[in-house]
Structure 1
Amino acid sequence: MSSPASKWTLGALGIVLLLCFSALLASVWWQADTTAETRWYILVNLQLPLAITATVVGAALCVSGAALQVVLRNPLADPGIIGIASGASLMAALVLILMPEWMVSTLHYSMPLACFAGALLSTAVIYRLSTRLRGLNTAVILAGIAITTLTSAVMGWLYLFADAQSMRNLTFWVMGSLHQADGWILLWSAPLIAGSCVLIISKGKTLNYLYNGELTARSAGIDPTHESKVVLIACALAVGAAVAIAGSIAFLGLLVPHYVRLLMGFDNRLVLPASAFCGAVLLLLVALFSDLLPYASLPVSMVTASLGGPLLLYALLKGQFK
């Protein structure tokens, strides 16, 4: 991490991130048929929240995925695959469908809290299974599939009791959308995500010891159980807040850290921030591409799944996940 090459790599990724962020904001000025006042309104009220959402959500999912793969000792660990995002999505669905009208004004802080509670509950189940079934990586993935299946079933039942507008909102939430967040929700969620990501990245050296096994960590004076719990809670907070503002987004937290490690090695002091930068850049590019389409707003999870599915199959065929 202290090598000049590492610093240059992170610096280049930071510059790319700023360029993508600026390009998304500047896209409003490509609309020739609008006045200056309208463009300024779109910039402040639509494009800026969109750019912030893409940045923090991409960073949260990818840095959480990178950390989970170390803590759970499983290269397939991902907030979506192991059920963390599903638990958060279920709580979002409960809030959207069952919340009474007189509580709608509290949505900007009740939604992040509910999603965090769902993500934390799923994380606790996965962590308990991973500690009791240590060495059985497949069991953790199967447990995540079971949690995802269960939450999907509950959400299917919720559809039966939802009105048309709630069903539409829930569908977009499940498919992922960067256009859902407004300034109030971002005011609560973005600082939670940023703080969680900073905390996870600060644990890079600790995760290096955990990556080499509990004995190595204990010999370095690190309590593996305590540090794992801290990282998992931070991941649950980041993923819960990300789901609260963008819904469920597939594959991003799995594939970005995987390819970052292939390109940059296994030093988590480099992998964690690089994963955060790359995830933010990818979602900014998805948002920019969707913004350039004249009559459609693409569901983010559809785009990431379309890109991530073939990449995952390619990685599996190459034997990169072991």
Structure 2
Amino acid sequence: MRVSLSLNRQTTLLILVILLVISAIAATQLGAMKLSLTEIWQQPFDSIVWQVWLTIRVPRVLLALLIGAALAVSGTIMQGLFRNPLADPGLLGISSGAGLMVALALLLPLQLPLFASLWLPVIAAFIGSLLVTLLIFQLNKVSQGQLSRLLLLGIAINALSGSFIGILSWLSNDQQLRQLSLWGMGSLAQAQWPVVGICALIIIPTSLLLLRSARALNLLQLGEEDAFYSGLDVLRTQQYLLIGNALLVGTAVSFTGIIGFIGLVIPHLVRMVFGSDHRWLLPGSMIVGGLLLLLSDTLARTLVQPAEMPVGLLTSLLGAPWFFMLILKRLKASYA
């Protein structure tokens, strides 16, 4: 029975990967200028068709896959680490903390080489997300993981970070203000090959390393004491997961802004199919997260052509009802 269940999960993962590849290929053909693979191959390499496909569409599709996977893995790690199904980088203020540091980096009058300027937002976002993650983790222990206190803490951090970002927006010039506004709504419009390269360099190895923590996350669901007596180095594992989570969130926020609810919704959807075993939950979340953000971004840039909707607005529209449903479900369970 266990072998059959494992085979079913493997088959489901394979189907998801195939669906992901098909969706990615289709997404490169959709947009204000519709393309087809047949038309692309018939054109000379220096034609406008090839330039649009290779320098605009393909980087954007790859960035959507990377950022979606990063946010979904981050949400899965946080829900396992906090043992709370409502843990999410956006709700708990981690994305806002990273965003505040990125806003500071964008407005500081630093004269840096191109290579250094590309890495500055990543470093700033990593510092911000790590500081907020450590703060929440410590306060979560003090509050013994109570949902209401955790959400109130997230609301406070989001409000405080939003206030400082507002002050920075007020101090910025017109160009910086527009950049901060679009970035705050979440967008993949900055997708270029250097950005894709940096994201891939951080997100892929970090996600693969975090996949190896599946057994540790399964043990942590028993509680820290039971996990310790099962042979797990709890403190080292927690530090490892917090740093990995901060790297994923920081990288995502630094280049695409705050894209909410991916980290909240995806683990729940995947858990319905694969169960709570993180050996399947983590890779499933990685694939489905990339797929969902890819589909959301494709809709965002095709629904209101020739204009483009920030993808963060669309994911919020899709994720907010799910969040309300989870809250009501938790409240109903607490009063039952």
Query: Is 1:103 aligned to 2:98, yes or no?
Result: no
Worse-matched range after superposition: 306-315 or 278-287: 306-315
SS of the aligned residue for 1:77 comes to: coil
The answer for unaligned runs of 5 or more in structure 2 is none
User: CA deviation digits over 1:148-187, x for unaligned, max 9?
Assistant: 1111010111111101111111011110001113222222
1:74 Cα deviation after fit: 1.5
Q: After the TM superposition, which of the residue ranges 211-220 and 236-245 deviates more from structure 2? A: 211-220
Contact (CA 8 Å) 1:315, 1:321: kept in 2 or not?
no
Residue identity opposite 2:311 in structure 1: V
Segments of structure 1 that go 5 or more residues without pairing to the other structure are: none
Give yes or no for contact 1:73–1:137 (8 Å, CA) kept in 2. no
Match of 2:7 among 1, 4, 7: 4
Give the partner amino acid of 1:8. T
Q: What CA deviation, in whole Å up to 9, does each residue of 1:196-251 have, x standing for no partner?
A: 11122211111001012123312321011211110111010011001112110111
Query: What is the Cα deviation at residue 281 of structure 1?
Result: 0.4
Cα distance change of structure 1 residues 281 and 87 upon mapping to structure 2, 3 Å threshold: same
Aligned counterparts, 1:239-278, within 5 A: 239-278=249-288
Tell me the residue number matched to 1:236: 246
Question: Which of residues 277, 287, 311 in structure 2 aligns to 1:300?
Answer: 311
Aligned residues: 321
State the secondary structure of the residue aligned to 1:26. coil
Inter-partner Cα distance in structure 2 for 1:210 and 1:288? 37
Q: Secondary structure at the match of 1:30?
A: coil
Q: For residues 161 and 321 of structure 1, do their structure 2 counterparts lie closer, same or farther at Cα, with a shift above 3 Å needed?
A: farther
* Aligned residue number for residue 129 of structure 1: 139
8 Å contact from structure 1 (residues 208, 268) kept in 2: yes
Contact 1:60 1:242 in 2 (8 A): yes
Kindly state the Cα deviation for residue 9 of structure 1 after the two structures are TM-superposed.
1.3
1:35-80 CA-partner distances (Å, limit 9, x unpaired)? 7511111122111210111001100111110110111121110011
CA gap of 1:80–1:135, structure 2 versus 1, over 3 A, is closer
Larger radius of gyration: 2
Quick check: 1:312 aligned with 2:323?
Answer: yes
Matches within 5 A, 1:22-37: 22-27=25-30, 30-31=34-35, 37=47
Verify the 8 A CA contact 2:300 2:314 in the aligned structure 1: no
CA distance in 2, matches of 1:279, 1:126: 24
Post-superposition offset of 1:145:
1.6
State the Cα deviation string for residues 261-298 of structure 1 (Å, max 9, x = none): 13321111111111111110011111222333421111
Please give the alpha-carbon distance, in whole angstroms, between the structure 1 residues aligned to 2:126 and 2:167: 22
Q: CA deviation at 1:130?
A: 1.8
**1:197 is the counterpart of 2:207:** yes
Conserved? CA contact 2:56–2:191, under 8 Å: no
Partner of 2:84: 74
Q: 2: distance between equivalents of 1:282 and 1:316?
A: 22
Runs of 4+ in 1 over 6 A off after TM superposition: 32-35
Q: Distance in 1 between matches of 2:88 and 2:333?
A: 13
1:170 aligns with 2:180: yes
Q: Give the secondary-structure state (helix, strand or coil) at the position aligned to 1:236.
A: helix
TM-score for the superposition, normalised by structure 1: 0.93
Q: 1:255 and 1:77 mapped to 2: Cα distance?
A: 10
Deviation at 1:104, TM superposition (A): 6.8
**1: CA distance between counterparts of 2:310 and 2:322?**
19
How many angstroms does 1:194 deviate by? 1.2
Q: Which residue of 1 aligns with 2:23?
A: 20
Determine if contact 1:176/1:249 at 8 Å carries over to the other structure: yes
State percent identity of aligned pairs.
35
Distance in 1, Cα, partners of 2:51 & 2:62: 16
State yes or no: 1:85 paired with 2:89.
Answer: no
Rounded to whole Å, the distance in 2 between the matches of 1:31 and 1:247 is: 28
Q: RMSD of the TM alignment (CA)?
A: 2.2
For 2:35 and 2:15, the matched residues in 1 are separated by 30
